Amino acid sequence: MPKILCIVGLALSGLLVLLFGLDAASGVLFNAGIVYDLLFLVGAGMTAWISWITFREQI
């Protein structure tokens, strides 16, 4: 079960990195501003990193 949660967390944070990366590059999706896009990119990247580290510990 914990491995599945790590994989789901990694997949969702990867999706968020892609989504907010595209928004930061184009500025069309949410129109919230580049600062918010960068903050969400950092947060999603940190979540992906933590999920990856935790997944590696369980193997």
The predicted model gives 23-41 an average pLDDT of 88
Domain definitions of the chain by residue range: 2-58
The stretch 22-41 carries a mean pLDDT of 88
Average pLDDT over residues 3-16: 96
pTM, full prediction: 0.86
Q: Is 57 exposed, middle or buried (0-12, 13-18, 19+ CB in 10 A)?
A: exposed
CB 5 within 8 A of CB 47: no
Structure confidence at residue 6 as a pLDDT band (50, 70, 90): very high
- pLDDT value at position 8? 97
32: pLDDT confidence band, cut at 50, 70 and 90? confident
pLDDT of 30 above 90:
no
